[in-house]
A and B are shown apart, each in its own frame.
Chain A
Amino acid sequence: MVTWTPGVPLNPIDEFFQRETVLRRPFSIGGLRRRGATCEIDIIGRTIGPGTRFLGSMKPGDETDILGPLGRPFIPVEGVMVHVLVSGGVGFPPLLWFADRLQRERRRATAVCGARTRDLLPLTMTAEPDSGGRETMCASEFAASSAPTIITSDDGTIGMKGTTADALTGLLDRLGNDAAVYTCGPERMMRRVAEICAARRVACRAALERVMGCGMGTCQSCVVALKDESERGWHYELCCTHGPVFDAARVMWESHA
């Protein structure tokens, strides 16, 4: 005898067991193209658990539903020469969306994208990135918005060997700190980026990631601790509705430096 569930392949059974997820998964919007009453949305992610494995197993034509747009996006800081977009791993999608906005507003953008190794950086390279940490039109996703890109990898398998923090330091030196920084990626990386910016009095906005239940401000799970002038010195705000973009100078980081 075999048992099966309609629509679920007979194997692997592990996949079926692990699909008993209940909550939605939050993703950044990487790109958005309107076509009449419909629109195409770019979502880029990595398989890290049962939810993303399920989404990754979907085929063209499969149906699902989305709830959004939710939260507050990156907003350009006024009065700076260059807008610097710093991402780690698969943190770049909201910065792609933002690069498109910056181009439409005729603002200058430069991207810094890092990963531990080449395979963990799902960008399309049209040319080998500079190994010395100089920006070039190497990544087609950012080049589409006229943004040159610096690529870094911890192991040197692509671009400059080092971290996005190293590349950002060099870039801000060259720009004389006449820049604003927008970042999305692992919390440890964003914390380092925020510290570099704070030391140079460069504005920094960070798109944070938290465990979210609803995305609509009701479950109260995705709290971010932000510094304030109160006696306690901080308060919680919700990542889903108040964020996910926050002034990095106010964030009390969860990771250690």
Chain B
Amino acid sequence: MQATAVDLSVQLGRLRLANPVVTVSGTCGYGMEYAPYFDLARLGAFTTKAVTPEPRIGNEPDRICEVRAGMLNAIGLANVGLEAFVRDKLPELPKLGCPALVNVAGHSIDDYVKVCRALDPLPGIAGLELNVSCPNVADGLVFGTDPGLLRELVTAVRGVVRRALLIVKLSPNVSDVAAMARAAIEGGAEALSVINTLLGMAIDIDEWRPMLANGTGGLSGPAIKPIAVQMVSRVYRAVARDVGVPIIGMGGVQTWEDAVEFLLAGATAVGVGTALFIDPTTPGKICDGLAAYLQRRGLASVRELVGQLKLGEGGSSARPGPAAG
């Protein structure tokens, strides 16, 4: 049989991505750090580390701690700040060879508006991702856990973002992620990243202290994947599908099989984060695996997977079988 090329491209709102694999903010620096290890042009898109109005040195070490099937981090949004980002990092972004998304963080609505207003007109930025869910700074979770505040924040930013795709990254540390998704979309989000890290803690039993200097940190890695898949599915079905807002699904993705799960759950693109620390060539391997999977299934495009999860109305499996009883 003749092997036909499958189409891996996806449409993330107004952005066309060559494939659905996106690097996750905070796990891939500002761009060129991974250039020695793999061809960044093979990515669907790249997401920078968070940019705040002023430079931040971040939290005291220890900043990370490995846990079973995952890791905790409390970096504290260490970054060079808006001015140095524009001067030193932005000129590097075109070298990536793929669309660049810039993650934006702040303490107040004014902070986000200031950074987004400055970055939006600059060339080389395809999208702005609002980090409203960093669990490692004093008030980082406030915007990410209060729907009213989130709507207000996104509305304010929407007013100054004209060119770049506006993405909001949701926190899983809420009782109903769909309510947050709705608030972000009402504010004007064009895409959603689901999910950020889960708040966690690990304890040194010799010292009776937290393993992280910050006390708590964000849990990432394969440990959180089932939670992330569930939240993508929930956001997709409850909110995003009906209004046509695409989701970047992320949380513990390590293999192409993981990516397929996220796509079926309703993600249009899939973020790879913690896995990059272990193997920076993971995105290429996922693309290869996805292409082979589509071919085996006789599918022409990766888009045919998005949201195809078979799920009954009550959330039960719609798998046919003998009736219970």
Q: A residues bordering B, Cβ < 8 Å?
A: 17-18, 20-24, 51, 67, 210-211, 213-214, 216-223, 235-236, 254
Q: B residues bordering A, Cβ < 8 Å?
A: 26-29, 33-34, 37, 49, 57-58, 61-66, 68-71, 73, 75, 78, 221-222, 274, 276-278, 280
Bound complex: CA A219 to CA B34 (Å): 12
A20 to chain B, nearest CB (A): 5
30 contacts between A and B (CB under 8 A): A20-B68, A20-B69, A21-B68, A22-B66, A22-B70, A22-B222, A22-B274, A23-B71, A23-B277, A24-B278, A210-B61, A211-B62, A211-B64, A213-B73, A216-B34, A216-B37, A216-B277, A217-B33, A218-B28, A218-B29, A218-B34, A218-B49, A219-B64, A220-B26, A220-B63, A221-B63, A222-B61, A223-B58, A236-B58, A254-B61
A216 x B33 contact (CB < 8 A) = yes
B29 x A217 contact (CB < 8 A) = yes
Closest 9 CB pairs of A and B: A214-B277, A221-B64, A218-B29, A221-B63, A20-B68, A20-B69, A220-B75, A213-B277, A211-B62
**What B residues does A23 contact at CB under 8 A?**
66, 71, 277-278
Bound complex: CA A76 to CA B222 (Å): 43
**What B residues does A20 contact at CB under 8 A?**
68-69
Known contacts A21-B66, A22-B222, A211-B63; is-contact A218 B277 (Cβ 8 Å) = yes
A221 x B61 contact (CB < 8 A) = yes
B78 x A235 contact (CB < 8 A) = no
Known contacts A22-B221, A223-B58; is-contact A211 B37 (Cβ 8 Å) = no
A223 x B63 contact (CB < 8 A) = yes
A219 x B27 contact (CB < 8 A) = yes
Known contacts A20-B68, A20-B69, A236-B78; is-contact A216 B63 (Cβ 8 Å) = no
**What A residues does B61 contact at CB under 8 A?**
210-211, 221-223, 254
**What A residues does B62 contact at CB under 8 A?**
211, 221
What does DSSP make chain A's interface, helix, strand, loop or mixed?
Answer: loop
Bound complex: CA A22 to CA B275 (Å): 8
A64 to chain B, nearest CB (A): 12
A235 x B34 contact (CB < 8 A) = no
**Chain B residue with minimal CB distance to A241?**
B33
**What A residues does B71 contact at CB under 8 A?**
22-23, 213
Question: A21, A221, A254 — which one has the most chain B CB atoms within 10 A of its CB?
Answer: A221
Bound complex: CA A179 to CA B58 (Å): 37
A61 to chain B, nearest CB (A): 22
B57 x A218 contact (CB < 8 A) = no
Known contacts A23-B278, A214-B277; is-contact A219 B66 (Cβ 8 Å) = no
Bound complex: CA A170 to CA B92 (Å): 52
B58 x A220 contact (CB < 8 A) = yes
Bound complex: CA A99 to CA B61 (Å): 31
**Chain B residue with minimal CB distance to A254?**
B61
A7 to chain B, nearest CB (A): 17
Q: Give 13 A-B pairs besides A211-B64, A236-B78 with Cβ atoms closer than 8 angstroms.
A: A21-B66, A22-B71, A23-B66, A23-B278, A24-B278, A216-B37, A217-B29, A218-B33, A219-B64, A219-B277, A220-B75, A220-B78, A221-B64
Question: B28, B64, B73, B78 — which one has the most chain A CB atoms within 10 A of its CB?
Answer: B64
**What A residues does B37 contact at CB under 8 A?**
67, 216
Known contacts A20-B68, A22-B221; is-contact A221 B75 (Cβ 8 Å) = yes
Bound complex: CA A254 to CA B57 (Å): 17
Bound complex: CA A183 to CA B58 (Å): 28
**What B residues does A223 contact at CB under 8 A?**
58, 61, 63, 78
A244 to chain B, nearest CB (A): 14
**Chain A residue with minimal CB distance to B67?**
A22
**What B residues does A22 contact at CB under 8 A?**
66, 69-71, 221-222, 274, 278
**What A residues does B274 contact at CB under 8 A?**
22
**What B residues does A218 contact at CB under 8 A?**
27-29, 33-34, 49, 276-277
Bound complex: CA A217 to CA B28 (Å): 8
Bound complex: CA A17 to CA B69 (Å): 10
B139 to chain A, nearest CB (A): 20
Bound complex: CA A18 to CA B69 (Å): 10
**What B residues does A216 contact at CB under 8 A?**
33-34, 37, 277, 280
**Chain A residue with minimal CB distance to B274?**
A22
